[in-house]
A and B are shown apart, each in its own frame.
Chain A
Amino acid sequence: MSAMTEINYLWPLAGGLLIGLSAGLYLLLNGRIAGISGLAAAAAGLTHDGVSKLGLGFLGGIIAGAWLAAALIRQPDITITSSPGLLIAAGLIVGYGTRLGSGCTSGHGVCGLARLSPRSVAATVTFMAVAGVTVFVTRHLLGVLS
Chain B
Amino acid sequence: MSSRIAASIICGLIFGTGLVISDMINPARVLAFLDVAGNWDPSLAFVMGGALVPSAVAYIVRRSRSAPLLDSRFYVPANAQIDWKLVTGAALFGLGWGLVGFCPGPAIAALSTGRWEAVLFVAAMLVGMSAYRFSLGRHVPNYRFS
A25–B130 CA distance with the chains assembled, in angstroms = 29
When A109-B48, A139-B38 are in contact, do A74 and B128 touch as well, CB less than 8 Å?
A: no
Asked if B105 and A62 sit within 8 Å, CB to CB, the answer is yes
B103's partner among A66, A82, A94 (CB-CB below 8 A) is A94
B residues 1-32 near A (Cβ < 8 Å) are 2, 4-28, 31
The digit string for A102-125, where 1 denotes a CB below 8 A from any CB of B, is: 101110111101110111001110
When A19-B19, A40-B129, A97-B93 are in contact, do A24 and B28 touch as well, CB less than 8 Å?
A: no
Asked if B15 and A19 sit within 8 Å, CB to CB, the answer is yes
A73–B17 CA distance with the chains assembled, in angstroms = 9
Give the number of residues in A that approach B within 8 Å (Cβ atoms): 110
Asked if B67 and A105 sit within 8 Å, CB to CB, the answer is no
B93's partner among A55, A88, A98 (CB-CB below 8 A) is A98
When A46-B129, A57-B8, A131-B98 are in contact, do A65 and B55 touch as well, CB less than 8 Å?
A: no
Residues of the B chain whose Cβ atoms lie less than 8 Å from the Cβ of A23: 11, 15, 51, 54-55, 58
Residues of the B chain whose Cβ atoms lie less than 8 Å from the Cβ of A136: 35-37
Asked if B94 and A69 sit within 8 Å, CB to CB, the answer is no
- Chain A, residue nearest B76 (CB): A33
Residues of the B chain whose Cβ atoms lie less than 8 Å from the Cβ of A54: 4-5, 8
Asked if B96 and A111 sit within 8 Å, CB to CB, the answer is no
B residues with a Cβ closer than 8 A to A are: 2, 4-28, 31, 34-38, 43-44, 46-59, 61-62, 65, 67-71, 73-77, 79-82, 85-105, 107-113, 115, 117-118, 120-133, 136-137, 140-141
Question: Can you list 6 A-B contacts (CB < 8 A)?
Answer: A22-B18, A53-B2, A55-B8, A67-B16, A80-B100, A110-B51
A residues with a Cβ closer than 8 A to B are: 8-9, 11-34, 36-37, 40-41, 44, 46-48, 53-55, 57-70, 73-74, 76-82, 84, 86-102, 104-106, 108-111, 113-115, 117-119, 122-124, 126-136, 138-140, 145-146
